[in-house]
Amino acid sequence: MRPRRRYEPARPSVPHARINDGIRAPRVRLIDSDGSQVGIKTSDEAREYAYAKNLDLVEIAATADPPVCRVMDYGKYRYAEEQKAKLARKHQQQIHIKEIKLRPKIGVHDYETKKGHVVRFLNQRAKVKVTIMFRGRETTHPDRGRDLLMRLAEDVQEIGAIESHPLLEGRNMTMVLGPTKSAGEKVKTEPAEAKVKAEPAEAKGKAETAGEKAKTEPKEKISKSPVATEQAAAEEADGA
């Protein structure tokens, strides 16, 4: 049974340099593996010098006169270059451009739906190209399309900024919106109804607390004056 081929992911492309017998220049400027200058040698002498150290002769500056070659381990050199290319590609920021198409006479519901798409794209840190499509005599009123684009830009100004102002090209008018710094951030907001319901509940809780304190507090004893005490004793004696 024929064995299956294993899938090998494509390695990042790194420009190949001429090495060893691939170097065609008759004379080269030779650099040792430690970076020191050896001098100008013939290609054969430079190759023998590299082979004596069990290393490779690599052409690093082909446009120089004479070409510059260095003694090194070509396998390690290739690996280091591939890692640099991989790291550069990892930190490269990819820009995605989404497109939304509108008509000048778009309805309110359709406009809100399209605006929701624009908001979603901007929160995904993508640019949005908004296109107004004119048909027939609608091309005689480009101001309607421009007003619609500016209205959309104003509605999403918190998360989107105009990068390319409305431009009429043939029967289409385009505008490009880019995400702002606040695009994609989750803002925690309490609903207004919850706040309104919370206020009466807090007031009710305070009133109940005040009533409980009044019930639990002991009543203060009223102190009688000496004159009132004597009058009461006299009234009791008369009655007797």
pLDDT in tens, 117-176: 999 999 998 999 999 999 988 989 999 999 999 999 999 999 999 999 999 998 999 999
Taking the C-alpha atoms of residue 123 and residue 145, their distance in angstroms, rounded to an integer, is: 25
Domain 97-179 annotated CATH 3.30.110.10: yes
- Phi, psi (degrees; rounded to nearest 5) at 15: -60, 130
pLDDT of res. 12:
47
Domain boundaries, the chain: 20-89, 97-179
Polymer length in residues for the chain: 240
The helix, strand and coil proportions of the chain, stated in percent and rounded to the nearest 5, come to 45, 20, 35
How does pLDDT run across 189-237, given as a tens digit for each residue? Answer: 445 555 555 556 565 666 566 566 555 555 544 445 555 556 666 666 6
- As given in the structure block, the two tokens for residue 20 are 């060893």
Is the predicted pLDDT of residue 107 greater than 60, yes or no? yes
Residue type, position 24, single letter: R
Q: If phi over 0 gives left and psi between -120 and 50 gives alpha, with beta otherwise, what is residue 216?
A: alpha
Cβ neighbors of 103 (< 8 A, separation 6 or more) are: 132, 133, 135
CATH architecture of 20-89: Roll (3.10)
Nearest-angstrom CA–CA distance, 204 and 201 = 5
Question: CA–CA separation, 218 vs 82, rounded Å?
Answer: 86
